[in-house]
């Protein structure tokens, strides 16, 4: 006699919340990004959504998104993150109501394996799936 054990598991997906960010707060973070070489012909440096999220969490620890979400990265066990929310917010703003002085783009996934960021004493490995493109933004100031 063969016994087959079956397990029924229920997958519960937490509903993604939508957070509002003040564009001026994000613009300040981009403007405060240290310039590699001031007045360089390529312009100001870009920051990834991860870098913006890390700086945002440091500056605005009481913001509902900072309280409710992890910065993000592989291993946090969440499908939503502060990084994703900020990247989505800036992307939608650029598409529908372009904020003055901010531009965006993507880092190509070509020839790329991993990207790491530092948040305090914690190393964050950037998530690469399902979308392998990482959004980047900069101040045009």
Q: Closest Cα partner for 83 from 109, 125, 128, 50?
A: 50
Alpha-carbon span 23 to 53, nearest angstrom: 13
- pLDDT, position 132: 63
Burial of 95: CB neighbours in 10 Å, binned 0-12, 13-18, 19+: exposed
| pLDDT cut 70: percent of the chain above it | 84
Q: Is residue 88 part of a domain?
A: yes
Query: What does the pLDDT read at residue 9?
Result: 31
Tell me: pLDDT of 105 over 90. Answer: yes
pLDDT band at 16 (very low <50, low <70, confident <90, very high): low
pLDDT of 47-70, one tens digit each? Answer: 999 999 999 999 999 999 999 999
pTM check: above 0.85: no
51, two tokens: 């870098």
Q: What is the pLDDT of residue 141?
A: 82
What pLDDT does residue 112 have?
76
Whose tokens are 């006699």? That residue is 1
Residue 8, in any domain of the structure:
no
Residue 16 lies in a domain: no
Specify the number of domains making up the chain.
Answer: 1
CA neighbor of 82 nearest in space, from 130, 41, 26? 26
Q: Quickly state the pLDDT bin for 4 (edges 50, 70, 90).
A: very low
Tell me whether residue 17 is in a domain: no
The boundaries of the domain holding residue 92 are 23-32+41-139
**Which pLDDT score is estimated for 15?**
54
Instruction: Decide if 3 is inside a domain.
Output: no
Query: Is 59 contained in some domain?
Result: yes
Whether 72 maps to a domain, the answer reads yes
Residue 1 in any domain: the answer is no
pLDDT mean over 106-124? 87
């Amino acid at each position: 006699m063969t016994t087959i054990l079956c397990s029924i598991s229920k997958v519960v997906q937490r509903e993604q919340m939508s957070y509002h960010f003040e564009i001026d707060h994000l613009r300040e973070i981009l403007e405060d990004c240290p310039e590699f070489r001031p007045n360089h012909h390529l312009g100001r440096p870009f920051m990834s959504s991860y870098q913006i999220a890390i700086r945002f969490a440091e500056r605005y620890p009481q913001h509902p998104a900072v309280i409710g979400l992890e910065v993000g990265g592989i291993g946090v066990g969440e499908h939503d993150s502060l990084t994703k929310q900020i990247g989505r917010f800036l992307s939608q703003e650029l598409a529908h109501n372009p904020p003055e002085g901010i531009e965006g783009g993507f880092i190509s996934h070509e020839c790329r394996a991993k990207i790491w960021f530092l948040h305090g004493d914690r190393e964050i490995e950037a998530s690469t799936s399902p979308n392998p493109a990482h959004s980047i933004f900069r101040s045009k100031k």
